[in-house]
Structure 1
């Protein structure tokens, strides 16, 4: 289980304060990372784990622990990589917006194909257990063997009794956001991508039937291995005595 250093916890408060003031993300990360002498992994954890307070609250309001009876759109690599990185012992944590993210930094590279296949199987089993009405999953085609991965995931889902379509597309983000434009009210999305979550927020304000973000990766890990004690940036930053900002 990934545990934060005191420096990372303190840096999270500084970084959140800068984001809340509207400072650029990249410059803020460098400033805070240098000040607290953070390692490379810690900077990536901070970047993926902490968002501005308003954005965090808006996304967190959409997070659900169920997809029962809903159409489910799945960000294939986003969710499968989170499971894979957990299995590989890379940093996995709850971000300030309530979504499980990782700092695996694989950049679409899959060095252990057996481990990735296991991750797909764990994820598919968990999605089936969540009982959505149907599933559409998108995998980014620039990733090598993406078409094979899409077919493998579709086989796993169909073997579990789900109506499923899995596709290799140029951009999973773009495909899922486009699908949201015509999706039925109440559609769920399994993704920890902030761009997709923010698109879901826009749809929530424009259509009836509250859409939700289903954290399939977290559900899959905890279904397979039991409840985890995650590093939770939401809890760290929202506690009564949060880390003070930079002087």
Structure 2
């Protein structure tokens, strides 16, 4: 996908000036003749300066400050698949890593799910979280099977993991995080982020730990956002373990 840098600047400018997202997106899309994927990239990865600042202020940079995380299951899983499959992901202006894929798990990805679950579990173990609540969308095919396998793998790593199947994932994740300030949310979903008290950048941490060859486009640097300090020191220390 070709990245139109001027479109990034213009879109952020309009959002920061208070333009509604849809209006700003349409203006920039028409000006630069953006395709569907380029528009999705702007929507997911570029925000107003206020939003970027507020999101970064919620990011937990020291995992010892919290007891554990509540995980937006498919949000984390799908981005983890993209990273594992060496597809392009994006370091956005709020210092969170996102992808541009849809919500469906493809047939050629299924054989790698168990391995990806183990990578997530190992990262969480290295970070040191003992408590993880996982909320999965009940409406997605095979959710129960995936959630059961994930909790089994997490438990095998010595992590206390509790899974919830939900018809209202966003609402439940927000509610759980609101009830306990010692639990951060692991997600990149904008709706959840706006309502969550604390966010844990799990995908960023996993990339730091595993140091795989991956394809990442850095939006934050283009917009002058320094994300170097928004990473848990334990993720950096875990590289040597």
TM category (shorter chain) comes to 0.7 to 0.9
Whole-angstrom distance in 1 between the partners of 2:47 and 2:111: 34
Whole-angstrom distance in 2 between the partners of 1:65 and 1:192: 16
- What residue is the counterpart of 2:97 in the other structure? 100
Q: What SS does structure 2 have at the residue aligned with 1:192?
A: coil
- What residue is the counterpart of 2:221 in the other structure? 235
Whole-angstrom distance in 1 between the partners of 2:214 and 2:224: 20
Whole-angstrom distance in 2 between the partners of 1:224 and 1:65: 18
Q: Does 1:41 align with 2:27?
A: no
Residues 111-122 of structure 1 aligned to structure 2 (within 5 Å): 111=107, 112-122=109-119
Alpha-carbon distance, 1:222 to partner: 3.0
| Number of residue equivalences | 223
Residue segments in structure 1 that go unaligned for 5+ positions in a row? 202-211, 240-247
Residue segments in structure 2 that go unaligned for 5+ positions in a row? 226-241
Whole-angstrom distance in 2 between the partners of 1:63 and 1:230: 20
Alpha-carbon distance, 1:71 to partner: 2.2
Deviations 1:71-94 (A, max 9, x none): 211111101110112233433111
Alpha-carbon distance, 1:117 to partner: 3.1
- What residue is the counterpart of 1:150 in the other structure? 147
Correspondence for 1:159 among 156, 159, 166 = 156
CA contact (8 A) 2:132 2:159 kept: yes
Alpha-carbon distance, 1:125 to partner: 1.6
Alpha-carbon distance, 1:162 to partner: 0.7
Q: 1:135 to 1:99 in 2, by over 3 A?
A: same
CA contact (8 A) 1:67 1:188 kept: no
Residues 95-244 of structure 1 aligned to structure 2 (within 5 Å): 95-104=92-101, 106-111=102-107, 112-183=109-180, 185-201=181-197, 212-226=198-212, 230-238=216-224
CA contact (8 A) 1:15 1:29 kept: yes
- What residue is the counterpart of 2:46 in the other structure? 50
Alpha-carbon distance, 1:182 to partner: 1.6
Q: TM-score, normalised by structure 1?
A: 0.82
Whole-angstrom distance in 2 between the partners of 1:37 and 1:195: 28
Q: Does 1:29 align with 2:15?
A: no
Alpha-carbon distance, 1:140 to partner: 0.6
Alpha-carbon distance, 1:128 to partner: 1.6
Alpha-carbon distance, 1:228 to partner: 6.2
Whole-angstrom distance in 1 between the partners of 2:215 and 2:111: 27
CA contact (8 A) 2:71 2:133 kept: yes
- What residue is the counterpart of 1:205 in the other structure? none
**Farther off after superposition, 22-31 or 135-144:** 22-31
Q: Does 1:91 align with 2:88?
A: yes
Q: What SS does structure 2 have at the residue aligned with 1:38?
A: coil
